[in-house]
Amino acid sequence: MIHRRKVKSMPPGIGMTSQGTRDRLVRRLRDHGIRDENVLNAIAMTPRHEFVDEALSSRAYEDTALPIGLGQTISQPWVVAKMTEAVLDCGSPQKVLEIGTGSGYQAAILALLVPSVFTVERIEELLKLARRRFHKIGLHNIYTRHADGHLGWPSQAPFDAIIITAAAIELPLGLLDQLRIGGILVAPIERGGMQRLLKIQRTEEGYEEEDLGGVIFVPMLSGLS
């Protein structure tokens, strides 16, 4: 499904030296089934090299996950694009909650596509770095919170969509309760010893689930760090 949204512009000059490399990444994502042109445009506009350590910047536009320290990773661009497409399937979301800010890359992509992104991170050091990146590239519609992701952000609920960037052992019912009726939660969930990317839509009667395929994420942990 192609969603007709206007993708916000990045400030001029940010990361433009890598534009050709980013365009090649977009072509690869399109070849691997990503169809939403607004998602692809957001990927093309976002300087992924700003979200990884300088030593890995030459690999920033490979379609692969990369380490960001503290046992965490920046997700593979195809997975980011797939999860973002799934979030946009709920229509025109106004408020999206992300659990697991990490490097900030997923939130940055979302921030070009929806009016407000709320993102929660349990590791304070990562959150501070992400905040600086958001400020540097001029993304001012991202709201951050240092908290246990299992708690979500109840004071801002309900959300039109929730995206979880770490693998949960079971469906996070507390987070599902923070979805509006018709809203979508996208998350990697353990199933039969494997991680499956699930798209779960809240309905008047309960929840509808769609399996989007196998993925590999770091585990979703409790507590603060």
Percent of the chain with pLDDT over 70: 92
209: β partners: 200
pLDDT at 14 over 70: no
Distance, CA of 218 to chain centre: 14
Tell whether pTM > 0.85: yes
Q: By three-state DSSP, how is residue 206 classified?
A: coil
The stretch 162-187 carries a mean pLDDT of 95
> Counting Cβ atoms within 10 Å, is residue 169 exposed (0-12), middle (13-18) or buried (19+)?
exposed
Between 9 and 225, where is the model more confident?
Answer: 225
Residue 6: the pLDDT is 54
Tell me which of 3.40.190.10, 3.40.50.150, 3.20.20.30, 3.40.395.10 is the CATH number of domain 66-214.
Answer: 3.40.50.150
Residue 74: the pLDDT is 97
Which tens digits make up the pLDDT trace of 130-174?
Answer: 999 999 999 999 999 999 999 999 999 999 999 999 999 998 889
- 36-40, 100-104, 190-194: the lowest-pLDDT one: 190-194
pLDDT at 75 over 70: yes
The sign one gets for the Cα dihedral 221, 70, 96, 184 is negative
The stretch 72-80 carries a mean pLDDT of 96
Distances 80 to 42, 158, 196 between C-alpha atoms, Å: 11, 23, 14
Per-residue confidence at 60, pLDDT binned at 50, 70, 90? very high
Residue of 18, 58, 75, 225 marked active site: 75
DSSP letter, residue 168: B
Dist. CA 101–CA 140, nearest whole Å = 15
The stretch 4-25 carries a mean pLDDT of 62
Which tens digits make up the pLDDT trace of 25-49?
Answer: 999 999 999 999 999 999 999 999 9
75 is catalytic: yes
The stretch 59-85 carries a mean pLDDT of 96
Chain mean pLDDT for the chain = 92
